[in-house]
Amino acid sequence: MSGNNRGCCKDAGKDMFDRVPTLPPLPVDGTTPENYEVERDDPAGTVRLKTRFYEVTHDLTKGGAISSIILFRGTGENMLTEPISCAVTTADWKTTLSDVNAPALECEITRDGKYATVVMTSGLRPTVGEATDSPVKIRTVYEYRWGYIRVKRQFLFPASGFDVAQIMAHQWKLRPDISHFGVRAGSPACDPTHCGESQWGHLDPGRANDYPYWSCYAPRHVVFGNPGREGIEWFMSSDLAQWTYGVCGEIGHGWLNIGSVTQPRKAVEMQVCALKMPRKDLQKKKAVFKGKLTLDYRIGIPIISGRAAKPFIHESFNRKNWPTEATIKKWAADGVATAHFHHDGDTFHDGLFWRDGSYPPFGPEDMAEFDRVLKTCRENGIRVTTYFSNKELHPTTDIYREHGQEWARLPDGKTQVHNLYEGDEYGAQMCLRSGWSDWFKKSVERVSANHKIDGVYYDWNQAIFCNNPAHSDRKCPDGYFNDKGGLFADLKDSPVAHWDIDELIELMELTREFVGPGGLAIIHNTMNPCMATENFASHVLGMEWGTGHLSDGVPKLRELPFEWNFVGARPRGVITGGCIDKKAPVAIFRKRNLQCLLTGVAPWRASALDIVMFAPLKKLNMDGSRFLDWRNKVASTGTCSVKCAAYDSEDSLVLLLANTSDDKVTAKVKLCANALLLRQTAQYGIVDLSSGESWTEDQARLFESGVELQIEANTCRFFKIDPAKN
């Protein structure tokens, strides 16, 4: 036996879900941008851009297309099964001209500080080996930023015009294990109070009668992933109208296809088209393109460090109940590591709350209490910040009266949306693609300058659709937003349609720079996780709403929502109150906590039950450890109701054994050496982290014959295993 054999257990199967990361963890989390290494190898026909966390390769023999994206601390394997391509289909639907069928004609590489830009120009050909290019060429600009790539596709049509049936801006085929996906649809939301939330799906190429996802709108955002391990995303830049009115002067002519393919190899496929005409015999008009057609989008790449993170055990407080020194000391003793002030609405109906955009929010006495709590938290090792909403501005503030309409998110081009509750409101929705962005940054700086906070907590940290003409360089026809049918009757796409994703990413980049490499940046993005923004965050919150409430049971572990632990790049908090019926039995809350422990997330905010169930991990030193979730089969248990996970390093192992049944069980636990980093030794010291009991086990019993352990119903036992000292 070799404890450093980092393959999979023999019984782990061939599914990518069961693969274990092959490299040791990095000493940093990657929230702060680092340099790109750029390597051009003309004999091999490649251009490679590399960071310590991921590597992207372009193939110069295939139009300069991206042919490989590898996350070193994910599976360490190429997520693509074929190069990312673009194509134009002729009007008769008989010929498709693709960039990957021709070598790159030009390749230009420039550096800008830490970042790099690669510009590829190539012809489009119908098949590999075609002697000459078609009249259409493609110029693609890849601007490499930290954790994402800005892509500018420029289709170059002849001046005489070219009849087309389809313009496919982006196609990729991903490994079949990268099978969970979420789509933010390109069509305007039917309810303006909604933000175009992700619709979730799952494919299983070659093993299921999968249903594809189709839409006649190019999507705003699509994310794919192997939950808790790795993934990738595609999303439009802020100018949404570029993909609709900028192509054909109208909407509904795009296309999104997500589905399974099995040939030439199994894969999850996505095609995004700016134009997809009906069959030739159904076409009522031709699509003729001349000159340059530009389409901007982004590819998000998660920064996965491979290092285990302590569970996101968090508290919050408000003005009505300022926590005492004793309360804060108890938080620290319970393992609470972070906290924030959160009183953004008139919860207590006394008119005293922190109105978004106001400062100071309270009188001198309350502000003194605010500073006292911040100071006491820091003294007890708890990092603390306060709540900011980057989408809300309260109508009672002076700045709203001055700029509220100018900065507002207007989904129908004229009507503001107010976030209401119980006869009151949190604030009016703003759009970062306006002067609101600069003012919001200054408001964060103002609070930080006056109070010793450790960072920020951003709510509404997602991009939202907007039709405010003041936020676009494009023009809208007179009367376009005339209301003839009541409030929001003209909610639709338009020549000025946009969202604020570019501005949101810029805000996160500047926020990370502002709080510093070790600063606290908590973001809340329920239903709309985004790798490009989360890369700059310390912690992420989700699952507040949008799912059915549990009352009789919990999903199987494989059926947990993709949003649950996303791709495992950042410590996540699952807002239990948004997932479980308040009247559900305690067993449901216990089962949900077990699922959190087995997947590396934490319930949020921490309840008394959560504190007890997570207590054995609170003093655990996770430096140099990696987290292996329930899929890695780090041990066999002899019973299907007992699942295991581990915090694994070469010096020690913390094994989590969770009994998900309603009955007490006896598990026969055998460690799987091939899944662990734990080094080889004849004997191991074992400590029960809950009871403190300790003993020594021989290698043979621990790895071969098994150790019998009793586990109570709906509980988890934690064991620290170290090589025995001589």
Decide if 384 contacts 338 (C-beta within 8 A): yes
Partners of residue 295 on adjacent β-strands = 153
- For residue 673, what pLDDT band results from cuts at 50, 70 and 90? confident
Name the residue with tokens 């790539």: 149
* Interatomic CA distance for residues 99 and 164, integer angstroms: 16
State pLDDT tens for residues 455-489: 999 999 999 999 999 999 998 888 888 765 555 65
Q: Rounded CA gap, 243 and 497, in Å?
A: 10
Boundary residue ending a domain (522, 542, 562) = 542
Of the pLDDT bands very low, low, confident and very high (cuts 50, 70, 90), residue 100 is very high
Which residue among 254, 274, 300 closes a domain? 300
Q: Are residues 379 and 503 in the same domain?
A: yes
Has residue 242 got a pLDDT over 70? yes
> 362 and 276: one domain?
no
Write down the mean pLDDT value for the chain: 92
At 24-60, the pLDDT tens digits run 444 478 999 999 999 999 999 999 999 999 999 999 9
Dihedral over Cα of 610, 612, 616, 622: its sign? positive
Write the CATH number for 647: 2.60.40.1180
User: Confidence band (pLDDT; 50, 70, 90) for 656?
Assistant: very high
- pLDDT at residue number 17: 35
Last residue of a domain, one of 512, 542, 572: 542
Say what the pLDDT of residue 489 is.
58
| SS3 at position 598 | helix
Q: What is the pLDDT of residue 256?
A: 97
The pLDDT value recorded for residue 480 is 82
- Whether residue 48 is found in the same domain as residue 106: yes
Question: Does the pLDDT value for residue 394 go beyond 60?
Answer: yes
Residue partners of 712: CB distance under 8 A and separation at least 6:
659, 664
CA dist 308 and 25 (Å) reads 8
Q: How much is the average pLDDT of 343-368?
A: 95
User: Model confidence over 409-429: pLDDT tens digits?
Assistant: 999 888 899 999 887 899 999
Residue 614 domain-assigned? no
Q: What is the pLDDT of residues 512-528, one digit of tens each?
A: 999 999 899 999 999 99
Give me the sheet containing 707-711, strands edge to edge.
Answer: 635-636, 665-671, 707-711
The stretch 203-216 carries a mean pLDDT of 94
The CATH number of residue 158's host domain is 2.70.98.10
Q: Is residue 369 part of a domain?
A: yes
Mean pLDDT value across residues 438-449: 97
- Report which secondary-structure segment, H or E, holds 368: helix 364-379
DSSP 408: B
pLDDT digits (tens, 9 = 90+) for 571-621: 999 998 889 999 999 999 999 999 999 999 999 999 999 999 999 999 888
Do 285 and 371 fall into the same domain? no
User: Are 389 and 441 within one domain?
Assistant: yes
pLDDT at 288 over 80: yes
- pLDDT above 70 as % of the chain: 94
For residue 490, the model assigns a pLDDT of 57
> For residues 171 and 86, what is the distance between their CA atoms, to the nearest angstrom?
6
Q: Are residues 251 and 349 in the same domain?
A: no
Residue 497 to residue 463: CA distance in whole angstroms = 13
Cα atoms in the Cβ-side hemisphere of radius 13 Å centred on 308: 24
> Cis before residue 605, ω within 30 degrees of 0?
yes
Q: Please check whether residue 90 lies inside any domain of the structure.
A: yes
Structure tokens at 436: 């609101």
Helix (H) or strand (E) run with residue 328 in it: helix 325-334
d(CA 58, CA 44): 11
In terms of Cβ atoms closer than 10 Å to its own Cβ (0-12, 13-18, 19+), residue 693 is: exposed
Q: How many CB atoms lie within 10 A of CB 141?
A: 18
What does the pLDDT average to over 356-365? 96
List pLDDT tens digits, range 527-556: 999 999 999 999 999 999 888 999 999 999
Element (H, E) at 565: helix 562-565
Question: 628-654, pLDDT tens digit by residue?
Answer: 999 998 999 999 999 999 999 888 999
Closest CA to 202 of 136, 268, 266: 268
Predicted pLDDT at 285: 74
CB under 8 Å to 723, separation ≥6 — which residues? 651, 678, 679, 681, 683, 684, 685
Is position 619 within any domain?
no
Q: Are 685 and 696 in contact (CB under 8 A)?
A: yes
| 79 touches 175 (CB < 8 A) | yes
265 and 323 belong to one structural domain = no
Helices 436-450 + 501-515 axis angle, to 10:
20
- DSSP per-residue codes, 446-509: HHHHHS---EEEEES-S---B--GGG-SS---TTTT--SSSTTTT-S--TT-B--HHHHHHHHH
Q: Same domain, yes or no, for 211 and 150?
A: yes
| Helix (H/G/I), strand (E/B), else coil: 533 | helix
Closest C-alpha to 718, from 305, 338, 311: 311
The number of beta carbons lying within 10 Å of the beta carbon of residue 4 is 12
Give 245-282 pLDDT, tens digit per residue.
Answer: 999 888 889 999 999 999 999 999 999 999 999 877 66
Q: What does the pLDDT average to over 352-374?
A: 97
The answer to whether the CB of 88 falls within 8 A of the CB of 124 is yes
414 or 668: which carries more pLDDT confidence? 668
- For residue 252, the model assigns a pLDDT of 83
Cross-strand pairs, 539 = 522
Q: What does the alpha-carbon distance between residue 182 and residue 180 come to, in Å, rounded to a whole number? A: 7
Amino acid at site 434: S
Residue 296 Cα distances to 236, 237, 293, 508, 529, angstroms: 6, 6, 10, 20, 21
In a domain, 547, yes or no: no
Question: What is the Cα–Cα distance from 143 to 538, expressed in whole angstroms?
Answer: 25
> Which pLDDT score is estimated for 484?
58
Instruction: Establish if 221 belongs to a structural domain.
Output: yes
Phi and psi torsions of 240, nearest 5°: -65, -35
Q: Quote the tokens at residue 135.
A: 């009249």
Strand, helix or coil for residue 325: helix
Answer whether residue 15 is part of any domain. no
Query: What is the model's pLDDT at position 1?
Result: 26
How far is 145 from 25, CA to CA, in rounded Å? 23
- 34 vs 536: CA distance, rounded Å: 12
Shared domain for 286 and 323, answered yes or no, is no
Q: Is the dihedral of CA 55, 65, 33, 307 positive or negative?
A: negative
- Most confident stretch, 107-121, 469-483, 667-681: 107-121
- Residues sharing a CB contact under 8 Å with residue 290, sequence separation 6 or more, in sequence order: 157, 158, 159, 160, 161, 162
Q: What is the CATH number of the domain that holds 480?
A: 3.20.20.70
Q: What is the residue range of 319's domain? A: 314-542
- How many helices (H) and strands (E) the chain has is answered by 11, 38
Q: Total structural domains in the chain?
A: 3
Average pLDDT, integer, range 179-199: 84
307 occurs within a structural domain: no
The per-residue pLDDT for 478 is 83
Query: What residues contact 420, with CB distance under 8 A and at least 6 apart?
Result: 426
Residues 667-675 have a mean pLDDT of: 92
Q: In terms of Cα–Cα distance, which of 351, 347, 444, 329 is closest to 390?
A: 444
* Together in a domain, 673 and 712: yes
The answer, yes or no, to whether residue 6 has pLDDT greater than 60, is: no
Name the pLDDT band for 208 (thresholds 50, 70, 90): very high
- Do residues 202 and 338 both lie within one domain? no
d(CA 574, CA 160): 56
Angle at 250 between CA 246 and CA 255, to 5 degrees: 85
Residue 320 shares a structural domain with residue 466: yes
**What percentage of the chain exceeds 90 in pLDDT?**
82
Q: What is each CA distance from 5 to 21, 156, 481, in whole angstroms?
A: 12, 52, 65
